[in-house]
Amino acid sequence: MDNEQLGRYWMIVAGIALIGAGLLGFVAGNPIASESESALFRVNAAHNLVHILTGGLALAIAFGTRGMQLANGLLGFGVLYAVVAVLLIVDPTLFGVFSDTPTNAADHVLHGALAIVSLTLGYMLRDRAAATVR
């Protein structure tokens, strides 16, 4: 599997997972993602919409880009989630947006993993795409 295919599959998996998580968050009382304090991921409607939107962005990157554009899309997605991860570590309520459901350690791990994997694959693909252009 080449780097472009790997990057594309990652964006497809991330996009489907984020959209699924966003939709699951609207199902009241589920143990994975809900407003319940016992849920693995505590989410509210705003958090769910963010997951659906960023999942759509990931799918747009996966299906709408190739080569260097895909690499740049992966890097941009990684930077976006790195910024989100840092902001949510600084303020788990995201300055009041998630005041009823502050983020927890599971959220921090998930956002960090999305950032790290996307950035890593973006750099891998960028190096490969640049080498084929020369």
Are the C-beta atoms of residues 68 and 129 closer than 8 Å to each other?
A: yes
**Tell me, what's the pLDDT at 34?**
86
Residue-number span of the structural domain to which 115 is assigned: 3-133
This model's pTM is above 0.85: yes
**Tell me, what's the pLDDT at 132?**
66
CA–CA separation, 7 and 30 (whole Å): 31
Are the C-beta atoms of residues 26 and 134 closer than 8 Å to each other?
A: no
Concatenating the DSSP letter of every residue in 49-104 gives HHHHHHHHHHHHHHHH--HHHHHHHHHHHHHHHHHHHHHHHH-TTTTTTTTTS---
| Residue-wise pLDDT tens digits, 12-58 | 999 999 999 999 999 988 899 888 888 899 899 999 999 999 999 99
**Tell me, what's the pLDDT at 24?**
95
**Tell me, what's the pLDDT at 100?**
87
DSSP state, residue 37: T
**Tell me, what's the pLDDT at 131?**
64
Residue with tokens 């199902």: 27
pLDDT higher than 70, residue 134: no
Could you give the number of structural domains in the chain? 1
The DSSP bridge partners found for residue 33 are 41
| Mean predicted lDDT score pLDDT of the chain | 92
Percent of the chain whose predicted confidence (pLDDT) is above 70: 96
